[in-house]
Structure 1
Amino acid sequence: MPPCVRSLRPRRSRLTAVLAVAAATVLSFVAAPLAHAASPLRSLAEAKSKYIGTELTGNMVYNSTITSLAGAQFDMVTPGNEMKWDTTEPSNGNYNFGPGDTIVSFAQSHNMRVRGHNLVWHSQLPGWVNGVPRNQVQGVMEAHITTEVNHYKGKIYAWDVINEPFNEDGSLRADAFYNAMGSGYLADAIRTAHNADPNAKLYINDYNIEGENAKSNALYSLAQSMLAQGVPLGGIGLEGHFILGQVPSSMLANMQRFAALGLDVAVTELDDRIQQPASGSSFQQQANDYATVINDCLAVTRCPGVSQWGVGDADSWVPGTFPGWGTPTMYDNNYQPKPAYNATATALGGSGGGGGGTGAGPLHAVGAGKCLDVPNSSTTAGTQLDVRACSGGANQTFTLTSSGQLTVYSGADCLDANGRGTTAGTKVIIWSCNGQANQQWNINADGTVTGVQSGLCLDVTGASTADGALVQLWTCSGASNQHWTFG
């Protein structure tokens, strides 16, 4: 297992999957039928006086599937690369704000706040900055901060003014700014940003500071010192790039101690990487990890919200940076919700499990005019389901759980893709509930029911309307034999 220290985020290599599906015109936001809770995540978060955010970068803003999902579910956006120094000031005094402006325009059109990311960072610096004589670095840094913050004044809710300034042992990185100005560059950067936009919340953002450790202790001492000097530091960003099952148990206490200083404490870049191939139990642990992070934020008044780094697994930076690891977000490669989504929705006070929410009742096959049925009320594992005239019996009553399972017989058995099949024609059976991905389902807003693992649709074989017509998984086609109502 790799150490819980992330490498530098690659600027564009992680966009390969996105480029393959990039389409349409910039800011063309065509709605796609996606599975999500009855109330969008953003509405659930806002009801708790929080935000739920995401990250967009590069060609993601040209992809209508991504932008439709992002605009519907999230109310905060962070540009992944578009506001970093190598993009905004590639040569001394020559600025390029076009890429960042595009993301700001998207956010404004969807009533989303924007997190500016970032102003001062040792990485993704254009070469000319590292070549500046030390006695000129302060002037260059202040000019860059002032120009960029002025350009976006009034459009940015919060800035990551300083990004990742610490080594793992709590010492400060010896970058161009520290080497020229010592530790004083940190306070100077915050003051300069505040002078340019007094209304923006100003953050120091870092990774591996989520729990109490040498690195977060050093940041805590720095924050105390800054506040004592009247430096207008407003918040601490906990990036939250986790390894599955390793959300620190001290995260809540750590957030509370920063909040007690009068600082906001946001989770700014959440993902939770899983060693591949991922199993159903891994996805359930990921759901637990997401719920822990959301609940920790909810428990801290000064936690304004949580932002995920990326929209879905297909656009994540993780596989390109950590070979053998992936699936780190709450949406899969097809931008369908995973158990982590359901857990997030539930933690925010909503109902998980896709468009139908949690609940119990029959699944009506719209095309057949019948109900999903366990033949002869069988309790034998492996029994293939069919459709029959609705009777209200226990063998036709399914419960959608918060983890996306469809259970029958009071939770004894689960709807299951036979043999963990992911090909068209896979039988839909009952099997003892085991929490694996082939037993997790999305009840979608467009009336389909899709398997989390396969992405295939629950289908009445041959579009039959007869009693006893068998049920299978099949490529989603929009036909009436793949439409269902629940409850």
Structure 2
Amino acid sequence: MRTFRTPRPRRPRRVVGALAVTAATALASAATLLPAGQAGAAGTTLRSLAEAKGIYFGTAITQGDLNNAALTAVAGSQFGMLTPANEMKWDTVEPSRGSFNYAPADRLVSFAQAHSMRLRGHTLVWHSQLPSWVGALPANQVQAAMRNHITNEVGHYKGKLYAWDVVNEMFNEDGGFRTDAFYNAMGVGFVADALRTARAADPNVKLYLNDYNIEGLNAKSDAMYNLVKSLKSQGVPLDGVGFQAHFVLGQVPSSLKANLERFTALGVEVAVTELDDRMQLPASSTALAQQGRDYASVITTCLAVRGCVGITQWGVGDGDSWIPGTFPGYGAATLYDNNYQAKPAYAASAAALGSGAATPTPTPSTPGPTPTPTPSTPGPAVSCAVTGSVSSWDTGLVENLTVTNTGSTAVNGWKLAFDLPAGQSVTSAWSAVIDPSAGRVTAGNVEYNGTIAPGASASFGFQATHTGDVALPTGFSLDGTPCTTA
């Protein structure tokens, strides 16, 4: 059985100062989440906790994993986004020129659909897991082969995927482009060409660039940042950047948040696409506690960055992880052990996603006089604030909106009405149901985000076509109450 991805050694990073949630707090706060010894109990799940915060929590599996009942039980219940680990890569889909095989990937698509999971396509253009015939092509034939491959595969899955990793791992560690078949034939322009080709094949799917070791501020992430900035300035369709996040225990970059924020400032969304956190084996209780802090750090960072849309763990459990086969002596990199039983990192992740944080025990103090309560003026029962961002290209755009309950009572079963600029028409939406598609529209909650507590928020987004006006909507009102905007 193949590993998830053709790997190469990744240079360990020496980073300190990551955000953390202590394992003790995480375990205490998530104690009611998962009965001891169960891999994926019914009720509250990572998926539902993440979606309540407006993000997704996903996993990657192979078609061979579908024969593992323990694995699929966890995958289908705990995760809301599915990435086919190998089955959409070039060597599987088009092993010989012009001959396409979608059966393996279709099995995973069917699994995702049966479990109401969204899908991430991985990957269209990559130097690895590339059939030999591509590398043997004359340089003047590579572009045509690339365009044909993208058009055929994206077209096959049109309307079924959330996003595509269009180009994967295009940079060396020093920030220079890899000298693969695509770069050698087309130079840096192959990236823009691939994105434009994918957009033509499916106008509504999100288009991503994806790479590893770009999570912190460094030469490689600078190269990705400069590429994204250049592409956006040229009007090339690009919706997001994927940060793989194959971490070594205790080495989540302290600059992760600042790095993600500089990308979202360019008008793209960001996602953690291949998260795992490897440690030396055998795993100790100390290492497992640190792993919980690492996972919690990544989650809390994503939640703190407007425009971070989700997190995907690469694999379901330690038993199907690619790490041991690539890094001898290392493993235990996921939320579940070899038997798909939840590890301390599961509880830490659930706590970071807001599963009812434990109330700290008060520190005993010397009794004193009872203070006189300070009178306060109650806030309004219903009031709201809306923030948003828009990313546009040619005749399409993506908008992400967040509505915050600034009142004093919970909002249950919300409806947010707003005016779309003339010429904008919604084609798809996530985390909300939007009707009608143009003019004065109403976004209504979905099952998992129907309640907004005082001070809490709900986020959703949509994709739309436009005729030139790419401004954000106006005239927001929550259940009939006008909202402020920023």
- Give the equivalent residue in structure 2 for 1:227: 232
- Give the equivalent residue in structure 1 for 2:341: 336
The code of the aligned residue for 1:155 comes to K
RCO comparison, higher one (Cα < 8 Å, 6+): 2
- Give the equivalent residue in structure 2 for 1:114: 119
- Give the equivalent residue in structure 1 for 2:364: none
* Structure 1, gaps ≥5 residues long: 1-5, 11-31, 361-487
Partners of 1:293 and 1:254 in 2: how far apart? 13
Give the conservation status (yes or no) of the 8 Å contact 1:210–1:251.
yes
Give the conservation status (yes or no) of the 8 Å contact 1:267–1:305.
yes
The code of the aligned residue for 1:233 comes to L
What percent of counterpart residues are identical? 62
Q: Deviations over 1:148-197 (max 9, x none)?
A: 00000001100000000000000000000000000000000000000001
Q: Where does 1:18-417 land on structure 2 (aligned, <5 Å)?
A: 34-36=39-41, 38-350=43-355
Larger Rg: 1
Partners of 2:146 and 2:264 in 1: how far apart? 29
Give the conservation status (yes or no) of the 8 Å contact 1:55–1:311.
yes
Give the conservation status (yes or no) of the 8 Å contact 2:63–2:105.
no
Q: Secondary structure at the match of 1:45?
A: helix
Give the conservation status (yes or no) of the 8 Å contact 1:115–1:158.
yes
Give the conservation status (yes or no) of the 8 Å contact 1:78–1:117.
yes
Distance change in 2, residues 1:37/1:110 (3 Å): closer
- Give the equivalent residue in structure 1 for 2:21: none
Partners of 1:193 and 1:277 in 2: how far apart? 44
Q: Secondary structure at the match of 2:177?
A: coil
Give the conservation status (yes or no) of the 8 Å contact 2:250–2:291.
yes
Q: Deviations over 1:394-417 (max 9, x none)?
A: xxxxxxxxxxxxxxxxxxxxxxxx
Dislocated runs of 4+, deviation >6 Å? 357-360
Q: How far apart are residue 303 of structure 1 and its match?
A: 0.7
Q: Deviations over 1:286-305 (max 9, x none)?
A: 00000000001001121110
What is the TM-score when the length of structure 2 is the normalising length?
0.66
Q: Secondary structure at the match of 2:99?
A: coil
Give the conservation status (yes or no) of the 8 Å contact 2:40–2:74.
no
Q: Deviations over 1:415-449 (max 9, x none)?
A: xxxxxxxxxxxxxxxxxxxxxxxxxxxxxxxxxxx
- Give the equivalent residue in structure 1 for 2:397: none
What is the TM-score when the length of structure 1 is the normalising length?
0.66
Q: Secondary structure at the match of 1:199?
A: coil
Quick check: 1:9 aligned with 2:7?
yes
CA-based RMSD: 2.0
Partners of 1:186 and 1:144 in 2: how far apart? 14
Give the conservation status (yes or no) of the 8 Å contact 2:275–2:314.
yes
* Structure 2, gaps ≥5 residues long: 9-36, 362-486
Partners of 2:123 and 2:138 in 1: how far apart? 23
Partners of 1:7 and 1:107 in 2: how far apart? 20
Q: How far apart are residue 124 of structure 1 and its match?
A: 0.4
Partners of 1:9 and 1:168 in 2: how far apart? 15
| Pairs aligned (count) | 330
Q: How far apart are residue 8 of structure 1 and its match?
A: 3.3
Distance change in 2, residues 1:317/1:308 (3 Å): same
